[in-house]
Amino acid sequence: MASMFLCFTLLFINICTADGYECYSSTRCLFNSTELQDIEFIRSYYYNKIEHVRFSSDVGRFVGYTEFGIKEAEYWNKDQAILAQMRAQKETYCQHNTDLWYANVLSKSVKPSARLHSTMAPGCHHPAMLVCSVYDFYPKLIKVSWLRNGQETTSDITSTEEFANGDWLYQVHSHLEYMPRSGEKISCMVEHASLDEPLIINWVPPMPETERLIIVGAIGLILGLILFVAGVIYRRKSGDTSLAHRFGEKQAEDWNKDPAALSLWRPQKEMFFKPDSELCFTNVLPKSVMPLARLHSMTPPGGRHPVLALCRVYDFFPNQSKTRCCSRLL
């Protein structure tokens, strides 16, 4: 398969104009391998976009295509020096450039990536259409075909030309219009020089609406079950407090029946609390702090009295205090 992809052309053009008329020549090398017998050297001469004479290494001489071109070919074919020079171009010019192309360009390849998806058919002849999109491959030549149940099909297929991405890579798209059938297997097969074996992408139809609803319902049921179990676990954990209370009551009842436990706890009043009480009465309770007082007037909020006297007392200990207000009319 690789040989069919390696047919390239080397093209060089020379142009000259005079008084509005244009004449130019082009040099091409056609080849599909580096072997000399697989190379053809072509030199064409044009006048006002019309080729009038050509030299081909396969023919070995000049051939004219117009009245002027025929005369010019006869003149050049009589000159053995010109013929020898043109015949040598196949080896000296084409084979040299062919080797460069094979070493730097033609031997390189980039594997394609493919995507198979569905789209709406533009007409009503078929209800469905599949698109096989192949991206980023090199060289340009590629074959995209369709398989239905393993057999290649050629009907109802349209394909685009290879589009250049502008970075030496190409893309192509192939469309298949088809009538969906239950259990049918449809595949897109890509053959390219960079692949050791064809790349096959199988079409997986989307899930029917009923199955999708069943799956959504199953997921909802599972989530509900998870929430239910979480609620039960939380309820049990929240009930642990009442269980602790019941355990404490049972433990107190058991200890009250044990005279040894009671005899251990009853002396704690005298052994632990009495010394602390004596310390408190000795160092805290007899102490006192003289209060600070401030008397000032303010306007009452209700308006029943013109003046309100306010007595404020600060920073005293203990908290028992008594405040009296005495007044004298002047």
Q: Which fold has domain 113-202?
A: Immunoglobulin-like (2.60.40)
pLDDT score, position 259 = 79
Provide the 10 A C-beta neighbour count for residue 230: 10
Give mean pLDDT, residues 117-134.
Answer: 78
Comparison of pLDDT for 177 and 315, the residue scoring more: 177
Give mean pLDDT, residues 117-139.
Answer: 81
Q: Could you tell me how far CA 41 lies from the centroid of its own chain?
A: 49
**Per-residue pLDDT band at 215 (split at 50, 70, 90):** confident
CATH for 2-106 (3.10.320.10, 3.40.50.300, 3.90.700.10, 1.10.1060.10): 3.10.320.10
**Which one-letter DSSP state was computed for residue 45?**
E
**Per-residue pLDDT band at 134 (split at 50, 70, 90):** very high
Q: What's the whole-model pTM score?
A: 0.42
pLDDT score, position 35 = 87
| 86-95, 102-111, 251-260: least confident range | 251-260
Token representation of residue 34: 């580096």
Domain ranges within the chain, ordered by starting residue:
2-106, 113-202, 210-236
| Polymer length of the chain | 330
Q: Give percent of the chain with pLDDT exceeding 70.
A: 73
| 3-7, 124-128, 219-223, 304-308: least confident range | 3-7
Q: Could you tell me how far CA 292 lies from the centroid of its own chain?
A: 77
Q: Are 9 and 29 in contact (CB under 8 A)?
A: yes
| 1-5, 64-68, 105-109: least confident range | 1-5
Q: Are 156 and 127 in contact (CB under 8 A)?
A: no
Q: Which residues, in sequence order, are CB contacts of 79 under 8 Å at separation 6+?
A: none
Short-list 72, 314, 56, CA closest to 64: 72
Backbone angles phi, psi at 208, to 5 degrees: -60, 160
Provide the 10 A C-beta neighbour count for residue 41: 24
Helix (H, G, I), strand (E, B) or coil at 146: strand
Comparison of pLDDT for 300 and 329, the residue scoring more: 300
Give mean pLDDT, residues 35-58.
Answer: 92
Give mean pLDDT, residues 6-17.
Answer: 54
In tens, the pLDDT along 308-329 reads 677 778 777 777 766 665 555 4
Give mean pLDDT, residues 207-226.
Answer: 75
Comparison of pLDDT for 292 and 15, the residue scoring more: 292
Helix (H, G, I), strand (E, B) or coil at 2: helix
Comparison of pLDDT for 212 and 115, the residue scoring more: 115
pLDDT score, position 6 = 45
Peptide bond into 306 cis (omega under 30): no
The beta-carbon contacts of 100-109 under 8 Å, at least 24 apart in sequence, are 101/8, 101/10, 102/34, 106/6, 106/8, 106/139, 108/138, 109/138, 109/139, 109/192, 109/193, 109/194
pLDDT score, position 316 = 75
Say yes or no to pLDDT of 207 above 80.
Answer: no
Q: Which residues, in sequence order, are CB contacts of 70 under 8 Å at separation 6+?
A: 64
pLDDT score, position 317 = 72
Say yes or no to pLDDT of 143 above 90.
Answer: yes
pLDDT score, position 56 = 93
In tens, the pLDDT along 260-275 reads 767 777 776 676 666 6
Say yes or no to pLDDT of 173 above 80.
Answer: yes
* Pairing state between β 308-314 and 292-298: antiparallel
pLDDT score, position 243 = 56
